[in-house]
Amino acid sequence: MEYFIGAIVLYILYRWISGGESSSTTKKAKDRNVSPQTSANRTSSSASPSINTSSISSYDRSDDDEFATFTIETNFGYEPEKSSNKQKGRWIGESEQLTINGRKLKKGLFYFGGVMDSLDGYGIEPSLVDEKRPVSKPPLNENAETHSDDSLGYWPSYASLSQGCRGAYLDWLASERSNPNTPIGYIFIYFYGFERRIIANKATSDVSDSEFIAVFDEVLRLNKVFSANRSFNRYSSDFLELMTLLRPSLLEYKMDEIPDTNNALSFKIKLANTVINEQPVGVKLALAWLKNTFEYSLKMPARRCEEEFKTLFEIRFAQKFGEGISVKPNKTKLCLSYNAASNGIHGVDLAVEELPDPSILKGPIKKLIPIAESCTEELASYSRYLGKAETSKNDIAALMLLPKELVNESNSPVIGEFKKWAEQVIENQDGLTTVKEFWSHTGMPFPKAINKKEHELLSNLATKANIGIAPDQRFHQAKVKVDGNIVLFTPAHGEFFEPSLAFNQVSLAMRLGAMVATIDGYVDQEEKLVLQRLVDQDENISPSEKNSLKAYLIWRLNSPANTAGLKARIEKLKTNEIEFLKKFMISIALADGKVDSSEIKQIEKLYTSLGLDRSLVTSDIHNLTSSNSRTFTRSESTNTSANTFKLDEGILAMHESETSDAKTMLENIFAVDGEPEMEVISEQAEPDGLDHAHKELFDTLLIKETWSRNEVNEFCGKLSLMVDGAIETINDWAYEKVDAPVLDDDGDIYVDLEIVEELKG
């Protein structure tokens, strides 16, 4: 019985001791604001580190005894063996050189010795390098992969490392300390020494200004080299901020070098001072507030496109709040503390003057969130594009997805080169160029046709450079042809351009006039000037509309005339409308002063193509030139083979025509563009925008993310669809709904699952 009671007492003592250790460990995890979970090599990308301090117990009752068997496991690395080194730990200055266990270290900046308790008093200083502890030999191959094992736990300590890891750490200290592939645990051990050096002496003068700056510069260098590790990036950024707060006058010139931090201490101080001094919270402080509040988290587009989001937020904030927003001081007082990365340092409270803590207020944040959400939405398509493999911010496709203000801000070389070329074309070639030449500036493969997506890219590229294009199917009721011409002009139409009734009417008259002027394959200068006066003399057309119409005229005069569908519409005109139409065409044709047989033959061809009686051409010319004196004046030329005619400006402007509504008549002829768009003609669309065949194909493709072209071709064959056309149709539908393509054709066919979710929504 005594034996049994003794065993129970021993067990209770054991549980009490181990429970205390577990509680202590768990408390330190909470102090660091982390959860007790395993993270063996601290390589997690999570901004909130974690550690496992929980015991794993197994209970086993055997038939031979009544005692429980417990197995205790922890994940702090190896338990450090006792060291024979009695030398007191000391700080090795930057310029001091040592040889440790066969490694020559050309630079210090670490603690060295055998005896040094951690600042919290719970064990050995984790950064202390003890030359008496056994280490592995230096590697024979300097390029060999750096050794690491389980001893390099979440809170690594030099004393607890295996011999192999100690050797690897010393090898790193002997190097330039810049290899980005070094296991992050070694970097943390090195970093722990900086935390101790600065925090332990924050109230003393033991650390000189020059050493303080040297430590700051070294941590800043480490932050840049190892910033890919989010945990180290966060801890090192917080430490740099702490150093600027401890000696602000010394490091004032380095403030801008500190990476952004979450729940930043300097932000809280700056915000508090701004509010207490009754100053408005400006855009930079407002954005910092968004990043440091627990009330809102920046979404993927804002994180992936950080610089673009920042610039756009500044623009939208200024539009909404001008110089800033007013915030009244609150009663809650500001308290600041630094949470160290080192397990050997408790949280550090910072003394601050009596200040409020407006960072906890929700009202101002609620004003900022809608702006952030709006900016996020504007950058969504751009962010999705950059999220794809092998894409770049300099891709023309990416630039086209940016809000206009950001393209102007970025001064993109792509946009700059295009703008320079376009301005030269406008100056030297009257803006006339080919679609192929224009497209070459996109850096993308030349398309088979200019459909909606291609036209949007052309117009967007031009708009980004403040260049207008003609034809612009939004305004000119005509479409760009892949093998045709295009005319550039500046300034562009502008974001709020809305064509007037006069604009539409004159553009229709110009189309008919250009058709007449080009019937002989040559445009005479007089014919061009006559049509230009249609624009110049109409007082109902704004200057921007005149720019657009003049470019449109140049395009019409340099593009094949298309009379498709006109004949059927002319047949529906009244007699007086047909007479005006003939008078208008003959007036344009005779503007060059020629009335020879070849001119008459060309007019006869035009009459025939429009369904008019070609035998009436001669009499119509005669009637116009001889019987209507108020319309034409006739003068004898020194060349008796030709007569010169002066076109009455009233007819050109159509203000004094003999029809009651000549402009309406032209609208009836040209209101529907006879130039069919090259697109897939499908059966009647279903309510969601896709016809049955394309809807079935799309639903089939949703089964997986990647398809071979042969697989898709097989599906299309069963549905009587062509692969290229089907992809184009589905993507055009996706553009209409969410302004982004859902399929990507790169040999294989890829389904953008993120866009699929948006389409469902």
Strand pairing of 336-338 and 632-636? Answer: unpaired
Indicate if the pLDDT at residue 601 is higher than 80.
no
- pLDDT tens, 365-417? 999 999 999 999 999 988 888 877 778 887 777 887 888 788 765 556 778 88
- pLDDT tens, 251-306? 888 888 888 776 678 888 889 999 999 999 999 999 999 988 888 988 889 988 99
Confidence of residue 559 (pLDDT cuts 50, 70, 90): confident
Provide the pLDDT for residue 661.
Answer: 54
- What residues form DSSP beta bridges with 124? 117
State the average pLDDT over residues 679-687: 40
Note if the bond before 491 is cis, omega within 30 degrees: yes
- pLDDT tens, 433-484? 999 999 888 877 888 888 877 888 888 888 888 899 999 988 887 888 889 9
Tokens of 630: 């108020």
String of b and e for 623-651 (b: at least 16 CB within 10 Å)?
ebbeeeeebbeeeeeeeeeeebbebbeeb
What is the C-alpha to C-alpha distance for residues 665 and 669, in angstroms, rounded to an integer? 7
State the average pLDDT over residues 564-593: 72
Handedness of CA 408, 409, 411, 414 (dihedral sign): negative
What is the C-alpha to C-alpha distance for residues 489 and 463, in angstroms, rounded to an integer? 11
Tokens of 679: 């697109």
Domain-wise residue ranges, the chain: 1-75, 90-257, 265-378, 499-670, 692-760
Indicate if the pLDDT at residue 40 is higher than 70.
no
- pLDDT tens, 606-630? 787 777 888 888 888 877 776 544 4
Which pTM does this prediction carry?
A: 0.52
The class level of CATH for 692-760 reads mainly alpha
Work out the number of other CB atoms within 10 angstroms of the CB of residue 493: 24
- Least Cα distance to 563 among 505, 623, 605, 620 occurs for 605
